[in-house]
Amino acid sequence: MNSDDPRLHSRRSKTVGAVLHSAAVYDLTVWLATLGRDGAFRKEVLDLARVAPGETVLDVACGTGNLAIAASGRVGPTGTVYGVDASTEMVGRARRKAARKGATAAFSEGIAQQLPFPDAQMDLVLSTRAFHHLSTKGRAECIREMRRVLRPGGRLLVVDFIKGARRHGPLAHFHRPGSVRLEDLAALAKDSGFRGVESGLLQSGRLGFVFATAAS
Question: Residue 77: how many CB atoms within 10 A of its CB?
Answer: 9
Given a contact cutoff of 8 angstroms between Cβ atoms, the answer to whether 83 and 107 are in contact is: yes
Round to whole Å and give the CA distance between 145 and 149.
Answer: 6
**Among residues 51, 71, 74, 85, which is the contact residue for ligand SAM, using CB under 6 A?**
85
Q: How far apart are the C-alpha atoms of 105 and 165, rounded to whole Å?
A: 32
The residue within the footprint of ligand SAM, chosen from 33, 49, 61, 212 (CB under 6 A), is 61
Asked whether position 81 contacts ligand SAM by CB under 6 A, the answer is no
Q: What are phi and psi for residue 139, nearest 5 degrees?
A: -65, -45
For residue 182, give every residue at least 6 positions away whose Cβ sits within 8 Å of its Cβ, in sequence order, or none: 162, 199, 200, 208, 209, 210
For ligand SAM (CB under 6 A), the number of binding residues is: 21
Indicate the residue among 133 and 147 with the shorter CB distance to ligand SAM: 133
Q: Does 97 bind ligand SAM (CB under 6 A)?
A: no
- Residues between 130 and 189 with contacts to ligand SAM, criterion CB under 6 A: 130, 133-134
Q: Using the rule CB under 6 A, is 20 a contact of ligand SAM? A: yes
Site residues (vs ligand SAM, CB under 6 A): 15, 17-20, 30, 61-63, 85-87, 90, 111-113, 128-130, 133-134
